[in-house]
Each structure stands twice: as C-alpha cells, then as structure tokens.
Amino acid sequence: MESILKRLQAGEILLCDGGMGTFLQAKGLQPGSCPELWCVDQPEAVLDIHRSYRDAGSDIVECNSFGGTRYKLKHYGLETRVTEINRAAAAIARQVAGDRQHVLGSVGPTGEFMEPYGMETEAAFQAAFREQLEALEAGGADCVIIETMTGLEEACVAIRAAKQHTRLVVAASFTFDPQVHGGYATMMGVTPEKMAEGVLEAGADIIGTNCGTGPDHMIRIVRQLKPVAAGKPIFAMPNAGMPVLENGQTIFKETPEEMARKAPLLVEAGATIIGGCCGTGPGHIAAMRRAIHGG
C-alpha cells in the first residue's frame, strides 16, 4: 500500500472514521472509566467499532488512543501503562486495517499548560508525547493526528516529538470556534492562519480541523486554511452539526444524509481527508463516501 502522503499527492480523497466514545458507551463504558483501557481489557469491542467504519468505507482506521498520554491516564491511575495501552490501540486498528487501510494514531491534548502559562515544562511534554507516539508506531500506526488542539505551543511540541522520534506521517488538527465579530479562533485565541503557520514550521505533513463545529462552519474554516497550507493536504472532521442541549444532554442532530450533502463542499473548499467527530457514526461515513465517490 502506498503511503498516505503519496495517495493524497496523487489527488485521492480519503475517508476517515467517525466518533468512538458514544459507541464505547453503548457497549458498556461507564462514566468516569478510561476509554483507552478498553484496548487492553475489551479489545473485541474496540475491534467491532473499527470494523463497522471499515465496512462503511473508511480508508483510515483511527486508534482509540486520544487520551493516551501519561497526563490523561494518570486520572485513572494508569500512567505507568502508557506503552501497553497505546501499543494495543494501534495493534487493534492494524488488525482491522490489514494492508488495505492506514492506521492513524490519535493524540489529544494533555489537559495541562506549559510554562509560563502553567507548571509543566516543554521537556516534560516532549517526553510524554514521545512515549505515546513511539508506542503507537510500535503497535502498527503509519500516521498520527495531533488533534482537538487549542494551544499552538503544545501542538508544536507534539509534532516535533513525532518528527524527531518516529517515522510517522504527522497531521495537526485544531478545534476552532466561531467568533462574535466574525472569523474563527481556538479558546486560546489561535486563528486558522496562525495555526497553519505554526504547525507547518514545526514539521506537520497535514493540517486541518476537527470537532467544535459542524460541516457548515468547517467548510469556511477549510477555506481559510487552504491559502496558507503551503500545498499540504487538509484534514476536516466535523461534528454532526452544532451541539444542542436537550433534557440535560448534548446531542448532535445532523443525519448522514445531511452531512453527505455537505461533504462535496468540504472537498471543494480544499479538504482531501474527510471524517467525522462527535455525533457521527458509520452511517455518516458511508453516506459521505457515496456523496464523494459515488456508488
């Protein structure tokens, strides 16, 4: 199988997975439990979710490793099991992917802040990201997405750790919110243009955006990213619409058909990898695939 970068450079439009957490909950994940530990304790459940996306037509299997740094795992008393959990997450994804799909390691924010905004050092962040990234590569990942990021400094540390210590293709994806006076920025004030400039300088191979908004806003964000992407591929993984609070629960209402109608607009805006985030499932991925590739 060709590398993901070669496929994108050749003009392919690739489909990634959708959400993971909701499906783990449907299989019995309890509030306050560690989703990533299921890669060790209940691998068949994680395999089943990956298979459902593969069967829906995804080209990329995204690992159940979003909260896999020692910082996040420490909340569950699992900080000594980083390598075990992340290696298992990638191995499960590779088992489903075989030689037909790419395996995308997921690396989320640590939840901490580096100096001077917080108590953590850049060296500590670097070590934590390196530990997770090396385990994902050892388990079978061929690319990684540093995702749902809001701070440029933390994202760039993760990108450099991947570039210095692995051979993984590196995507960097931020979560942007619409601003009162127009435009988009993260909760840390990073605009799409500033994000692109920073992560590309750090060495990202792919840039993009996930979570936070539905496809309508994400189309506009991708349009802002394209002129400053320096020719790099662009990733877009929207939620199933903007979140709505009903009966005390956050829900996402866009149907597979509604998202599918907008998928070609994401491509037209400049995205070459498309998937889904909160509220999306195999039905959304299958519908978006039909809208983009036909059949």
Per-residue confidence (pLDDT) for residue 118, from 0 to 100: 86
Per-residue confidence (pLDDT) for residue 294, from 0 to 100: 85
- Residue 30 neighbours by CB under 8 Å, 6+ apart: none
Q: 4-293: which CATH topology?
A: TIM Barrel (3.20.20)
- Side chain identity at 207, as an amino acid letter? I
Per-residue confidence (pLDDT) for residue 295, from 0 to 100: 61
Confirm if 202 and 152 have CB atoms less than 8 A apart: no
Domains of the chain: which residue ranges? 4-293
- Side chain identity at 92, as an amino acid letter? I
- Side chain identity at 155, as an amino acid letter? A
* Residue 212 DSSP SS3: coil
- Encode pLDDT of 36-83 as tens digits: 999 999 999 999 999 999 999 999 999 999 999 999 999 999 999 999
Per-residue confidence (pLDDT) for residue 246, from 0 to 100: 81
Per-residue confidence (pLDDT) for residue 87, from 0 to 100: 98
Per-residue confidence (pLDDT) for residue 19, from 0 to 100: 95
As averages over each run of 10 residues, the pLDDT of the chain (295 residues) reads 92 97 93 97 98 98 98 98 98 97 98 89 97 98 98 97 98 97 95 98 98 96 97 97 82 93 98 96 97 86
Confirm if 58 and 17 have CB atoms less than 8 A apart: yes
* Whole-prediction pTM: 0.96
Per-residue confidence (pLDDT) for residue 208, from 0 to 100: 98
User: 185 pairs with which residues across the strands?
Assistant: 177
- Encode pLDDT of 178-187 as tens digits: 999 899 999 9
Per-residue confidence (pLDDT) for residue 245, from 0 to 100: 80
Best CA proximity match to 263, nearest among 252, 274, 249: 274
H/E run at residue 168 = none
3-state secondary structure 49-79: HHHHHHHHCCCEEECCCCCCCHHHHHHHCCH
Alpha-carbon Rg for the chain in angstroms: 18
Phi, psi of 102 (to 5 degrees): -85, 150
- Encode pLDDT of 205-215 as tens digits: 999 999 999 99
